[in-house]
């Protein structure tokens, strides 16, 4: 954790500059990956999208870590948390997002994922040795779940009276919520693990393991036969590899190890805005008034939770 000191006289430190850059990458590039996924899912099975994305990105991240002079070896004592966070973050959560975007617009998926900071806080205060949340913080959590209900209400209502695509969209919402919880849990576990390895080494191993796992499962299910090779899908996957995985996930891993959980969660403010703008511009996606209201409530709740005063349970 960087030393908290006044920068008025000395100016920003090197660590500060790296954090600002890492946050910018997570803010912008992760917001755009929702569009990239949406453009790829019509041509590649979800398992192959996640598998190829991470398998292709891993060597580049290993190379970055080696160039930084970091040891590429896995610390044996941290193998268990490495496997756990890989499964939660890249297999379950990212896999759920890609699967859900088969039926959900990219901008709507980004809004559901915006609840992750609220889930992260809930996980943090629930786990043993976690943090106690103030009354204002609990009010923020409750408000966030109200906003989530408002956001999902049009979809749930439509699925109750219709069949086919509407029910498929409701199932996509459920899968995405489960994936969002996995991301929240994985993020908290990753931060608590205090990996002794370089953040880029952690990212590289997570991507490699997740990539091998997903591609192996996809191959065993003969999903290569379902691929519709075309330039749009290929460019979308390449974008996910470079900007979503190498730059985006690497930056996220870095800030997880150098910033408080509440500050890490601020990416949820920006990602939906980027996703909504790109979804409207490229795919002409539109949100219903009720969904806009739910979005406003969720983002307000995230702001309340992130600014609520936390006090450690264990001193």
pLDDT in tens, 197-215: 888 898 899 999 999 999 9
Mean pLDDT for the chain overall: 85
Neighbours of 167 (CB within 10 A): 15
**Residue 254, pLDDT above cutoff 60:** yes
Assign 89 a pLDDT band (cuts: 50, 70, 90).
very high
**Residue 7, pLDDT above cutoff 60:** no
Calpha distance 244→36 (Å, rounded): 9
Buried/exposed code over 133-155 (b: 16+ C-beta within 10 A; e: otherwise): beeebbebbebbbebbebbbebb
Answer for the pair 107, 274: CB distance below 8 angstroms, yes or no.
no
Question: Can you tell me the mean pLDDT for 145-156?
Answer: 88
Element spanning 311, H or E: strand 310-312
Question: Which one is predicted more confidently, 33 or 249?
Answer: 33
Calpha distance 36→277 (Å, rounded): 13
Cα separation values, 132 from 89, 124, 230, Å: 25, 9, 51
Calpha distance 229→53 (Å, rounded): 15
pLDDT at 13: 58
Calpha distance 307→303 (Å, rounded): 6
Q: What is the per-residue DSSP string for 221-282?
A: TTGGGG----HHHHHHHHHIIIIIIIIIIHHHHHHHTTS-HHHHTTHHHHHHHHHHHHHHHH
**Residue 312, pLDDT above cutoff 70:** no
**Residue 310, pLDDT above cutoff 80:** no
**Two tokens, residue 179:** 């994936």
**Residue 12, pLDDT above cutoff 60:** no
pTM assigned to the model: 0.83
Calpha distance 14→1 (Å, rounded): 13
> In which region does residue 227 sit, left (phi positive, over 0), alpha (psi from -120 to 50) or beta (all else)?
beta
pLDDT at 262: 63
Question: Can you tell me the mean pLDDT for 18-24?
Answer: 87
Helices 14-41 and 267-283 cross at an angle (nearest 10°) of 40
């Amino acid at each position: 954790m960087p030393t908290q000191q006044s920068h008025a006289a000395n100016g920003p430190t090197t660590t500060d500059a790296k954090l600002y850059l890492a946050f910018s990458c997570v803010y912008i590039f992760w917001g755009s990956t929702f569009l990239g996924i949406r453009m790829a899912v019509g041509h590649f099975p979800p398992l192959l999208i996640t598998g190829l994305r991470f398998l292709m990105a891993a060597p580049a991240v290993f190379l970055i870590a080696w160039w930084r002079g970091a040891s590429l070896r896995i610390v044996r004592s941290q193998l268990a948390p490495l496997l756990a966070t890989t499964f939660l973050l890249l297999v379950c959560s990212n896999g759920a997002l890609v699967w859900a975007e088969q039926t959900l617009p990219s901008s709507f998926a980004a809004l559901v994922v915006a609840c992750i900071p609220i889930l992260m806080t809930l996980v943090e205060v629930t786990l043993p040795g976690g943090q106690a949340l103030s009354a204002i913080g609990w009010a923020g959590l409750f408000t966030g779940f109200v906003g989530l209900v408002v956001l999902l209400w049009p979809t749930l209502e439509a699925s109750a009276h219709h069949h086919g695509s509407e029910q498929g969209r409701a199932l996509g919402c459920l899968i995405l919520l489960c994936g969002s919880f996995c991301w929240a849990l994985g993020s908290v576990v990753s931060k608590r693990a205090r990996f002794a390895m370089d953040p880029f080494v952690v990212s590289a191993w997570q991507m490699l393991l997740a990539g091998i796992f997903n591609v192996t499962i996809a191959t065993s299910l003969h999903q290569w036969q379902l691929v519709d090779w075309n330039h749009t899908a290929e460019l979308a996957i390449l974008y996910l590899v470079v900007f979503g995985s190498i730059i985006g996930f690497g930056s996220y891993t870095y800030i997880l190890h150098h910033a408080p959980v509440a500050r890490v969660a601020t990416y949820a403010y920006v990602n939906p805005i980027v996703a909504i703008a790109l979804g409207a511009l490229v795919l002409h996606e539109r949100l219903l008034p009720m969904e806009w209201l739910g979005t406003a409530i969720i983002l307000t709740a995230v702001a309340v939770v992130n600014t609520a005063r936390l006090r450690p349970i264990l001193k």
